[in-house]
Amino acid sequence: MSQSVAIYPGSFDPLTNGHGDIITRAASLFKTLVVAVAHNPNKKTIFTPEERVALIQEEFGSKFENVEVVSHSGLLVDFARERKARVVVRGLRAVSDYDYETQLALMNRRLAPEIETLFLAAREDCSYISSSVVKQIATFGGDVSAIVPPAVKRALDEKYRLGLIKG
């Protein structure tokens, strides 16, 4: 594994400490970890793909030399092939993630049998954290500093101040 490229795809709207834990652990397993921020114009997000990439970059760009952060649109398996990645990393929190994640993994395997999905179990103190919980709290001006990196907290506070996220 230490010689290969892995992709960690997701919406990251926004990056949480749970995502951060997966990035940290996956970065130690692979030569290169590409964090791929999904750009789906049909999905409403608080942060633009560029903002999401910049926030992850700010947190991890200088921490790990082998972590790249990019945005991508289109099929994940096409992107993985383009980057010559054999592994897609995903995080598993509770049973509630299992159905969706295995469905995705099986579909990706059908589309690209040479690519494996690797699940990392969430750290127990991160297993309740999700981007949607973060957004719900931020919508009402609540404090998310314990569950997101400082740069994300600042960016959420700014969106709230500008009235760009409202309850």
Residues that bind ligand ADP (CB under 6 A): 10-12, 16, 18-19, 22, 90-91, 93, 97, 122, 126, 129-131
Q: Which of 19, 39, 72, 135 is catalytic?
A: 19
Q: Which CB sits closer to ligand ADP, 4 or 40?
A: 40
As a whole number of angstroms, the distance between CA 38 and CA 157 comes to 23
Catalytic site residue 166? no
- For this structure, is 154 an active site residue? no
**For this structure, is 123 an active site residue?**
no
Task: Enter the tokens of residue 101.
Answer: 């994640």
CB neighbours of residue 52 within 10 Å: 27
Q: What does the longest C-alpha to C-alpha distance in the chain come to?
A: 47
Q: How far is the CB of 122 from ligand ADP (least distance, A)?
A: 3
Rounded to 10 deg, the angle between the 150-161 and 49-60 helix axes is 150
- Give me the helices (H) in 32-146, please: 49-60, 76-82, 95-111, 131-139
Assess contact for 10 and 38: CB atoms under 8 A.
Answer: yes
**Which among 52, 93, 135, 159 is annotated as catalytic?**
93
Assign 108 to helix, strand or coil: helix
| Active-site residue flag, 153 | no
Active-site residue, from 72, 90, 131, 153: 131
Least CB distance to ligand ADP at residue 127 (A): 6
**Min separation Cβ 136 and ligand ADP, Å:** 14
Q: Residue 37 Cβ, how far from ligand ADP at the closest point, in Å?
A: 9
Q: Which residues are catalytic?
A: 19, 43, 93, 131
